[in-house]
Amino acid sequence: MRADRLAMLLAALVALGGCSSDSGGPPHHEASRGLTTAGLNRSLAALQRIARQNGGTRAAGTPGFRASADYVAARLAHAGWTVTRQDVPFTFFRLKSASLSVGGRRLRAARDFQVLSYSGSGRARGPLRGVGLGCAEGDFKGLRAGELPLAQRGGNCFFHDKARNAERAGAKALLVVESVLSRRGVPSGTLGFPGIRIPVLVMSSRALGGGRRAALHVDAAMRAATTENVIAETPGGNGGHVVMAGGHLDSVRGGPGIEDNGTGVATLIGAAGAIGPNPPGAKLRFAFWAAEELGLLGSRHYVDSLDKQERQRISAYLNFDMVGSPNPVPQVYADGSPRLARALRRADGGRLGGASVGGASDHALFQAAGIPVNGLYTGSDETGPGGKPRDPCYHLACDTIHNVDRPMLLRMARTATRALRALSAQAK
User: Which residues are identified as catalytic?
Assistant: 292
Yes or no: say if 420 and 240 are a contact pair by the CB < 8 Å rule.
no
Q: How far apart are CA 363 and CA 115, in angstroms?
A: 27
Strand blocks (E) in 211-352: 213-233, 238-248, 282-289, 314-320, 331-333
C-alpha span between 394 and 185 (Å, rounded) = 9
48: amino acid identity, one letter: Q
CA 46, 52, 54, 58 torsion-angle sign? positive
Q: Are 125 and 215 in contact (CB under 8 A)?
A: yes
Q: Are 127 and 147 in contact (CB under 8 A)?
A: yes
Q: Which of 222, 268, 228 is nearest to 245 (CA)?
A: 268
Q: List C-alpha distances in Å: 298 to 86, 231, 243.
A: 9, 11, 19
Enumerate the H helices of 316-402 as residue ranges: 338-348, 363-368
Contacts of 328 (CB under 8 A, 6+ apart): 378, 379, 384, 390, 405, 408
- Using alpha carbons only, give the angle 256, 248, 246 rounded to the nearest 5 degrees: 145
Count CB atoms within 10 A of the CB of residue 388. 12
H or E element in which residue 118 lies: none
